[in-house]
Amino acid sequence: MPANDPMPTRPSLLLRIRDAGDRSAWEQFVALYAPMIYRFVRRRGLQDADAADVTQEVLRVVAAKARCLEYDPAVGSFRAWLFTVTRHTLINVHKRQSRHPRGTGDTAMNHRLDAQPAPAPDEKEVWEQEYRNSRLNWAAERVRVQCSDTTWQAFWRTAVDGESPRAVAESLGISVGAVHIAKSRVIARLKAVLGELPEE
């Protein structure tokens, strides 16, 4: 594993994306948040295409708003804000689907009341779960591309799948010691990457 760190500690991603030209910040941002938004929306019952649309829409809102985002963790986490944006976009989609082109005499207010129930208690939980998943997947992917497939396999199969180091060593054709080293190195690396990615 290379000792030089390709991702030194940086200011908050959310500060960095205020600069629309910071491509790597945006790449990281989208890679991190697009999957969670998409997954969340899918779990809220949206079709794939609609989910992709919503994700796109949320990212657009963030892009448009990024410049004036004053991120203050004391006021509320970024992902709580993102949750509101996502939920709102989702509501609009439901509204669009259920109301267009229906033209009943209902008042706009009634529609709004129908369309915006309070967030279900588990909704936030799902959101948090998807955030955790997304963050982990992002970090895992980062580490995975930095090590050999064998190293990754040795880590994943022993640490995540719970296979015995001996069995994995045999199947990968490496020594038991090498399996342990691979596992330890990936764990260390993963923890480092996760440590650099504050929960925002």
Partner 1 sequence: MTSVFECPSSDRLRALIEGVLSEPDQAAVVRHLDDCGVCQTTLERLAGGDGSFAVVARQLAEAGRSVSSDDRSIVSHLVAQFHERGADVTGEIPGDVEAGGELALDFLGPAPRPGLLGTVAQYEVIEVIGQGGMGIVLKAYDPALNRLVAVKVMAPQLAAVAAARRRFAREARAAAAVSHEHVVPIYAVDEFRGLPYLVMPFISGESLQDRLDRCGPLKLPEILRIGRQVAIGLAAAHDQGLIHRDIKPSNILLENGVERVKITDFGLARTVDDASLTHSDVVVGTPQYMAPEQARGEPVDPRSDLFSLGGVLYAMCLGRPPFRAPTALAVLKRVCEETPHPIRADAPEIPDWLVAIVETLLAKDPARRYGSAAVVAQLLEEHLARLQNPGLAGESGLATAPSRSRARSWRWATAAAVVVTGLVGLGWTRATEVTKLAEAVATILRIHTPRGVLVLQVDDPAVKVRVDDQAEEIVLNGAGLHELRLRPGQHRVQALKEGKLVYEELLTITKGGRSVAKIGRETGGRSAATEPRLKAALKPATPKKARPGSATNLAALRKELDAVVGEYHHLMKGPLAKDADVFRKLEDRMIELRRRIRAAEARPQPTAPRPASPAPARSGRSSPGSGGSSIRKERPRTVEPSSDRTDPPEETAPF
**Interface of this chain with partner 1, residues 136 to 165, rule: CB under 8 A:** 136-137, 140, 159-161, 165
Query: CA-CA distances (angstroms) from residue 21 to 14, 31, 44?
Result: 13, 16, 33
In this structure, which long-range contacts are made by residues 56-59, counting pairs with CB atoms below 8 Å and at least 24 apart in sequence? 57/89, 58/82, 58/85, 58/86, 58/89, 59/30, 59/33, 59/34
Alpha carbon distance 32, 132 (integer Å): 10
Smallest gap from residue 73 Cβ to partner 1 (A): 18
88 binds partner 1 (CB under 8 A): yes
96 binds partner 1 (CB under 8 A): yes
Would you put residue 162 in left (φ > 0), alpha (ψ -120 to 50) or beta? left
Smallest gap from residue 74 Cβ to partner 1 (A): 19
2 binds partner 1 (CB under 8 A): yes
The position carrying tokens 């509320």 is: 76
176 binds partner 1 (CB under 8 A): yes
3-state secondary structure of 191: helix
Among 15, 146, 172, 187, binds partner 1 (CB under 8 A): 187
Q: Taking CB under 8 A as the criterion, which residues in 100-119 touch partner 1?
A: 100-104, 107-108, 111, 116
Residue 34 or residue 172: which is nearer to partner 1 going by CB? Answer: 34
Q: Taking CB under 8 A as the criterion, which residues in 4-33 touch partner 1?
A: 17, 20-21, 23, 26-27, 30-31
Q: What mask of x and - would describe binding to partner 1 in positions 32 to 71, judged by CB under 8 A?
A: --xx--xx--x----xxxx-xx-xxx-xxx-xxxx-----
How many residues bind partner 1, per CB under 8 A? Answer: 77
Smallest gap from residue 172 Cβ to partner 1 (A): 14
3-state secondary structure of 1: coil
Burial (0-12, 13-18, 19+ Cβ within 10 Å), 129: middle
3-state secondary structure of 125: helix
